[in-house]
Structure 1
């Protein structure tokens, strides 16, 4: 953009079909050190203005061909000439003509016969105005650029701050959760091992006592009346039949506690600092065992069915504890979505089968692991899907969610494992989360 002041050379285009006016004006302009360009009609004026880009145009109204008003209108239509100030020169004195000149884009109006000093003075005024306008435009552009730079810097700083905050929350959450789960598993194992060890002794003792009672019955088939009465009173025959069943039930319960304890220890593996080879299916199964109490039916819905469509996967090199945290978020969110749908359904006895489909696929040629979690719960709107991975965004009531689970999950998959986490959902039909983890 050309910047000038009144002491530098400016270019003035004079448009007039009168040779005398052209001579007088051009001589006066040249005497001030400015360059004078000449055009005798509107068509030539438009061409000259586009080529030379004058600083001001002195434009006669009454000319052969297109008049000054039309010429000005054409100049204002073109991007290359629309900002050039136009001063009308005319013998017309009608107020309507003056208004028409200003409406078509003129900045000033000088009536013929003109006073030369007045013309030069007005040219200087509009040169100064043009200068100030262009300087203001440059300042505005510089200001816009500075604002944009500051905004970008602030945005970058905010992104870094959010990432640091998210990493801090994630690290603290993983550390706290890992310590808590590992501590619970350890506390469970101590009494569990004690009970399981003593249950073996108890089983042997009961078997020995049962055999001893059978020997008594064999060699003393007719006991005294008090023993017979007491045997009927305590239902001895039923006790002897039920004792093995009770022992078997205790075995089953202890085995279940043992599986939960193993799942807790697997879930809380402390491999945060380095990658390790990990069985993805073991991680999913451990998470399902931990969340099994939430999968059970309640007053609003029946049991949630978990469908496992597992592919043949190799051990995957990853951060196991972080991957387990993603699995926990995915399955817990699926359960929440189903529960939210059940709360909105008027007829809770709709006999709908609520399901969570977990599918794993190994693409050997691409060395790519794909894991999907799909539920038939509440689903999400398009607007919600656009924000679902944003930090602190949640659709859950206050106190039910922090809005960090999915943002942390995306960071784990995409930043820690160079993968991708995507969401596909239809409101009222369900949601599917798909994660892709490249091994290399």
Structure 2
């Protein structure tokens, strides 16, 4: 506990040192208000014991200036003075003091008051931190509701419109048109399911309730499996998936979760790559860690957008080359999945040069 004593009387300072140092307090001293105002921002004490009658500016003015400065306004100030008139006590509290102790003081009373004020100050700081966290959660909730209402409304409108048309006039449509309508409904419902799954995944992760099921297995086999799943999707856009996987020793990881990260990397690479381009998938071992990268030949990412790339609900200026859609949650979820494995996820990109997404995993993550 750091306490600043502001008093011009050596005898008072000595008594406070004798009283408070045995209580584990670290004391600093200023003998006037001007020195105190210079010292407080530098040492940031946990509490200030402030005399009123001093040369230069008095304790009242010193307190007023401390409370007017945003960097010192939250530091508790306890007046410790011989001035015991009611108007002085009221003025001390009005200027922002949290207590007013008159001299001569009783040692045990001063210690008890200081400990209680320090305890209250710590609780106040904890409450402020929790309030800030709550405000951030409220902001995230508002973004979630805004995004969900927008991104769910569009596919729901399509589903309702096309299904209603099929119910009322489906018999008048030829088979090809009915099939097209059903495909549209299927695509729209698939987009909704993706969004809902992403929202649920993010909610579980943010609440700290997601646990990994770590199993020993082959990361290379998982990579090859996921590539097979996306070969057809890439082929529809004329994109080649080029694989360069080096042997990686079997390691412990959560297969479905890492598969989800690979899915995100591959779908993004295909989504933002032009027809006739190549997506390169590589894996190897570096510095005792497995490293996987997916490199595309898309438009790349602006430097100012890299920082918000892994933030929930963020969508970048680059547009998919085939009109695909996204939720703005996939990379945020992927990053958190990798971090739960005690790994790292990063991106290397510049405009017009494509993007390379990389994750690294320890072979034996802590349990």
Q: TM-score, normalised by structure 1?
A: 0.40
**Greater Cα radius of gyration, structure 1 or 2:** 1
Q: TM-score, normalised by structure 2?
A: 0.47
